[in-house]
Structure 1
Amino acid sequence: MRSNYSVTGLGSVPETIPEIITFEEMQHRYAGKWVLIAEHESDENMRVVRGEVLVHSVNRDEVYDRLKDFQGRSLAIEYIGTPPPEWAVML
């Protein structure tokens, strides 16, 4: 069974310079997915302005399971897109 998640910057490939993108760019690239973001900038309301996407998946649990791999960093988890109507949302 193929997994629906991807990790950037990990594995046996040589380490690369992190790609820092705006939240707007994340919305274009990762629509309908959960993303784990290393925050590099947030606004006065603590919303992510820009950062590095560490993990993305359509499955929320796969993203949460990866939190332990990035301890000690300022992280955010966001769902990119409009939540389905059956989801309960806290603002």
Structure 2
Amino acid sequence: MLPPSQRCKDQTTKEPTGPFKRDHLLKYLEDQAKSEKDWEDVVPFSPGIKRGKVWEGDSGRNSAEGDTRDSGVAGMEMPIELDLDDE
């Protein structure tokens, strides 16, 4: 099978625009980003107000058992056993 670039004839007639200047492109993108104004927030920001649930992590669990069992992994109820006998 031939790749698409070899199956179809070349339809581009545009001349190259010139050499690629990465520094000029990055400077233009930074200037453009600085000149655009920010989006308006749907709910305005208020410092000190928490919205939604606050993540607590694993500190809320009961850790009286020591959290390590036969497998050495906290929270694993049953160790994994391998049966390697040839039967």
Query: How high is the TM-score relative to the length of structure 2?
Result: 0.19
How high is the TM-score relative to the length of structure 1?
0.19
Q: Which has the larger radius of gyration?
A: 2
Which protein is richer in helix relative to its size? 2
Return the structure number with greater strand share: 1
